A and B are shown apart, each in its own frame.
Chain A
Amino acid sequence: MEHSKETLPTFLIDGPLLRGVAREDRLSFLESMNLQTYPPGDVLFFEGELGDELFLVVSGEVVILNHTEMDEPVELTRILAGDFFGEMALLSPAPRSASAIALSFTNALSMPRRQYLDRLEGGDPAAAALMHSIARRVCQRLRATDGRIDLIHDALHGASSEDLESRLVNLTGRDQTGPVGWRESLLQFFGGA
C-alpha cells in the first residue's frame, strides 16, 4: 500500500526506535517500509514459519502467542502502536518462536531482511540505529530471562522430589495439584513479559 509521511503518526517518526537519527533519514527509512492493514484475527505470522520481516505497529493491537505442550496457546505479550516485533528474525534468520495475530484492525509497517540489509550495507544511519535499538532490547530480555531461570534454579536448588511441590507452591504463591497446575501457575508467575 502507498503511504507517505502524511500517514505516519508523529510518535512513530519521533519515537525512541530511531533515536539520534536525522529526521530525513528516519522518514526515508519508515517510508520505504510496506504498510498493510490486518483485520481482527488475521495472522501476521505463524510460530515455526521462516519469515524474516520486522513489523512496526502504526495503529491497532497485535497479540504474540506461543504454543506449548499445553492445549491452549499462551499469550506472551501484546504489541501496541509505536512498538515493533519480529526483530530477532530480521537480524538472525530462524523459524518464528511465536505467532502474531491482529486483535483489532491493525495497520503495520514491515520490512523484509533483504531490504533491511541493503539499507544497512548502503550506510543508512536509520538501519544502524535500529540494529542498536534491537541489540539493547535483546540484552534487556536476555538479562530478564536469565534472572527468571536463576530464580527457578534458586527456588528448586537441592529439593528432593518430596519437597519439590511445596517449593513450587512457595515460588508461585499458589496451592497447586497435578502437573498442569504447576505449569499454569509458573506460566502466570513468569509469563507475559
Chain B
Amino acid sequence: MSEPQTTKPVALEETSLFKNVREDMVQDLIDRFAERPLTGAEVVFKQGDPGDFLVVITSGQFDLIRNGATGEVHLAELGPGTILGHVSLVDGGPRSATLRAHDGGSVATLDRKTFSALWQDPSPDAVQLQMRVTQLVIEELRVANRKLAGLLDMPLAETPEAIQRLLGVTAHR
C-alpha cells in the first residue's frame, strides 16, 4: 500500500502509478484496467489468496486487515489513490492481508496477465510503470525497516499500547 491519501474520489490517471509516464501514453495504460464498483462491506481481496490482480482505490474508504495468531489486526485505513497488490504480482506470493470496503466505493484492477505483459514490455512507458512499481515496494520496505528498527530500540518500560502505536496497528479483541 502507499501514497497520498484523500477521502475524495480520484481518477486513475492522477494516481502516482503513472508518474513519469508520457501524457499521451497514460490513456493506453488506463484502458487495460477494469473498473470494479463495490457494495457495502465488500471484500476486494482476501489474505492468503493468490495475488492475481493489482488494485488502485479510486473512491471510498477501506480497511486493510491481517489475521494473525492473536486475531484480526487492523493494519491501515486506506482511501483513494492507494495502490495495492503489486508485491504479489512481482513475487508471485499470496496476499498478505485482506482489503475490505467500509461501505461501497470503487477500485480499478489490472489482472495478472496484463500486468505480466507490462512488466516484460521494453517500451519506455511500460518501463516507467515498472520503475514506479519497484519504487513503491522500496518505499514500503523502508517504512517496514524503520518500524522494525524503532521496535528494536524500544526501552523496556514502554507499554504494549506504545508498541502497537509504533507498529501502526490497532489491535481488536
Chain A contact residues, CB within 8 Å of chain B: 66, 68-69, 88, 91-92, 94, 97, 120-121, 123, 125, 128, 131-132, 134-136, 138-143, 145-146, 148-150, 152-154, 156-161, 164-165, 168, 178-179, 182-183, 186-187, 190-191
Contacts and interface: CB of A to CB of B under 8 A. Distances in A.
Contacts of A145: 141, 144-145, 147-148
Interface of B: 66, 68-70, 73, 87, 90-91, 93, 96, 119, 122, 124, 127, 130-131, 133-135, 137-142, 144-145, 147-149, 151-157, 159-160, 163-164, 167, 169, 171
B167 to A, nearest CB: 6
A164 B154 CA distance: 12
Nearest to A68: B153
A153 B137 contact: no
Given A88-B138, A128-B122, A141-B141, 6 more contacts: A92-B135, A138-B134, A139-B137, A143-B87, A143-B96, A152-B163
A132 B124 contact: no
B147 A150 contact: no
A69 B96 CA distance: 31
Chain A binding surface SS class: helix
A149 B141 contact: no
A152 B139 contact: no
Nearest to A186: B152
Nearest to B124: A121
Contacts of B139: 92
Contacts of A132: 119, 130
Contact of B90 (A125, A139, A159, A182): A139
